[in-house]
Structure 1
Amino acid sequence: MNKITDGIKHLIIINVLLFIAPQLLQLDVTNILALHFPKNGNFGIWQYITHMFMHGSFSHILFNMYGLWAFGSPLEQMWGKKKFLFFYFSAGLGAGLIYTLVNYYQFTGIYDLFINAGLNNSEIIAILEKGSSAGYNLKDAITQADFDKIYMLYHTPAVGASGAVYGVLAAFGLFYKDAKLALIFLPIPIAAKYFIPIMILGDLFFGVTKYSVGNIAHFAHIGGALIGFIIAYYWKKNEFKSYE
């Protein structure tokens, strides 16, 4: 069993504290710490970091922290604490940025339909804030599906360390290609070099289709994995050593 490393121990402690404390104190810090859509009034640039320490449920934090420990421990042992933390936060930040860019692209496509219907920016934001287009003749311009989609993009914040953990997974698969991995629903051990790409391709599939189950930020997973792979590949190729 992997010994818990110093950096990962501190990350897990912070995540657990920020999961438990608001519940014990009956505080809702979602509007402050979760990652909101940039046009939403609750958006703050700091949320690209703080959302990584927020989780929506016990199972959410459990699986993320398990993945961080199981796949991150060998990397921190190899790289050292400072290098691993740099990697972790870079992957998480990249995940948040790519997630925002994809959402912004989707938002803009529907937003333009409002503009073409003769609305200005303040009117569109007012509609999104109240969740109703009553008083505006949008029946022929905006479908209910489009309205539901842009409303969700505007109001739904992202939480969780999943993007950073996917970066860790990508790096693990690069450095430990032949390690055997398995899932509860797929108990057959598969080499990491096959297992992790299959997981990422699964996120891509669910991200571009309507088959996703639950409100999962698939493109944050893909973004974290992409940034994590790029950094890890560069370090491996250039034999970047630990500076501790």
Structure 2
Amino acid sequence: MPIVCKRLLIANVVVFVLQIMITRPLGPPDFAQRLENLPQILESMPTESMTQEQIEQYEMMQSAAIDLIPPRVSVVQEWCELDPTKVAHGQVWRLITSAFCHDRYMIWHLLINMIFLYWFGTRLEQMYGSREFALFYFTAAVCASVAFLALNWYTGDMTPAIGASGAVWGLIALYAIHHPYETVRVYLLFPIQIRWLALLYLLLDLHPVLLALNGDGNPDGVAHAAHLGGAAFGFLYFKYDWRLERYWNRLPVVGKEEKWQNRRVKRPARSTIKLHQPETGGLRVYSEPIDPQTKRMEIDLDRVLEKISEQGRESLTDEEIAVLESASKRYRER
């Protein structure tokens, strides 16, 4: 597994365990804050226009919601979650740290995000290199957080958010653009091209965002705006051919000795050997000629790699797979 994906998976699991283990009792200020974050439907309503039965139902819903407030507070989550109020007071680290926290009462929240990170992240890291992939992932997380905050500040909803899904949606969007025809199976049964699946889920995320913008709140408690923010960054990253390494290298705090090694390997068209010329005291360059068979293999290899980029590895024929294996064997023997 590529190094960045591996470290991200480990970090998310470690933080999840710390969320569970490092807690403190729920105090009166915490309880009051949790009450403020209850869904809009449970906020104070004019009871004078309600029947007695409606009032009783409303009070039962309030009581059930209060019972759902956990008796303890996760200290790690308290310092890392994306709290709009605390970010507004300067705690900007939450733009990134919130992407390492997940719902400690719902392990599927962590597992689904990590499965997607493994599926899509490993191949993207191999394509872009470890450092560029890391910069992409964290930038997608920041964009997702900014989108969430923008919606919440607009609607006045100060409910915090946690989860890596915003950054993961950046990976999904970028992967779907690179491999639009790759087929996945929903619930292991229904085959669908990943471009249509990604578009469908984006539409499902857009619907509640539009409702929130219209004042209808966010009844399901999912940070849909963060998903859209991460996906939008992935799309723009591909469309405008952004390479974050260029901007990172311009930062004065980044020394050359501290830069990560890029794992991408560019294969030269031909090997060169420098020979000394005694009569001139200089150097001349001798280019080793490429035999016709090697040249033909490189042309076929470029064609196959281009097809993988556009349609995914699953679209290759047996003949094209043989080209890949033959080229791999030849370069190992050099």
Return the TM-score normalized by structure 2.
Answer: 0.53
Q: Residue deviations 1:175-234, cap 9 Å, x none?
A: 0111112332x8311111211111111110132236976310000000110011111222
The corresponding residue for 2:141 is: 92
Query: What is the CA distance between 1:71 and its match in structure 2?
Result: 1.2
Q: Distance in 2 between matches of 1:231 and 1:41?
A: 27
The corresponding residue for 2:224 is: 218
The corresponding residue for 1:191 is: 193
Partner SS state of residue 103, structure 1: helix
Q: Distance in 2 between matches of 1:31 and 1:42?
A: 15
Structure having greater relative contact order (Cα 8 Å, sep ≥ 6):
1
Is 1:71 the equivalent of 2:120? yes
Is 1:172 the equivalent of 2:175? yes
The corresponding residue for 1:16 is: 13
Partner SS state of residue 190, structure 1: strand
Is 1:230 the equivalent of 2:216? no
Question: CA RMSD for the aligned pairs?
Answer: 2.5
The corresponding residue for 2:281 is: none
5+ residue gaps, structure 1, are 108-152
AA aligned opposite 1:91: A
The sequence identity of aligned pairs, in percent, is 32
The corresponding residue for 1:104 is: 153
Query: What is the CA distance between 1:236 and its match in structure 2?
Result: 8.2
AA aligned opposite 1:203: D
Q: Residue deviations 1:109-165, cap 9 Å, x none?
A: xxxxxxxxxxxxxxxxxxxxxxxxxxxxxxxxxxxxxxxxxxxx22x2110000000
Query: What is the CA distance between 1:22 and its match in structure 2?
Result: 3.0
Q: Residue deviations 1:3-56, cap 9 Å, x none?
A: x32111100100000000232343522221000013678871110010000001
Q: Distance in 2 between matches of 1:236 and 1:180?
A: 27
The answer to whether the 8 Å contact 2:102/2:163 transfers is yes
Is 1:35 the equivalent of 2:82? yes
Q: Distance in 2 between matches of 1:7 and 1:102?
A: 30
Query: What is the CA distance between 1:81 and its match in structure 2?
Result: 0.7
Larger CA Rg, structure 1 vs 2: 2
Partner SS state of residue 35, structure 1: coil
The corresponding residue for 1:58 is: 107
The answer to whether the 8 Å contact 2:148/2:226 transfers is yes
Q: Distance in 2 between matches of 1:211 and 1:101?
A: 14
Q: Distance in 2 between matches of 1:74 and 1:90?
A: 18
The answer to whether the 8 Å contact 1:203/1:221 transfers is yes
**2:166 equivalent among 158, 163, 167:** 163
The corresponding residue for 1:49 is: 96
Is 1:205 the equivalent of 2:207? yes
Q: Distance in 2 between matches of 1:59 and 1:214?
A: 16
The corresponding residue for 2:292 is: none
Q: Distance in 2 between matches of 1:187 and 1:213?
A: 30
Partner SS state of residue 140, structure 2: helix
Query: Matched residue pairs, number?
Result: 191
Q: Distance in 2 between matches of 1:183 and 1:67?
A: 13
AA aligned opposite 2:123: P
Q: Distance in 1 between matches of 2:2 and 2:177?
A: 20
Q: Distance in 2 between matches of 1:206 and 1:41?
A: 24
AA aligned opposite 2:91: G
**2:132 equivalent among 83, 86, 89:** 83
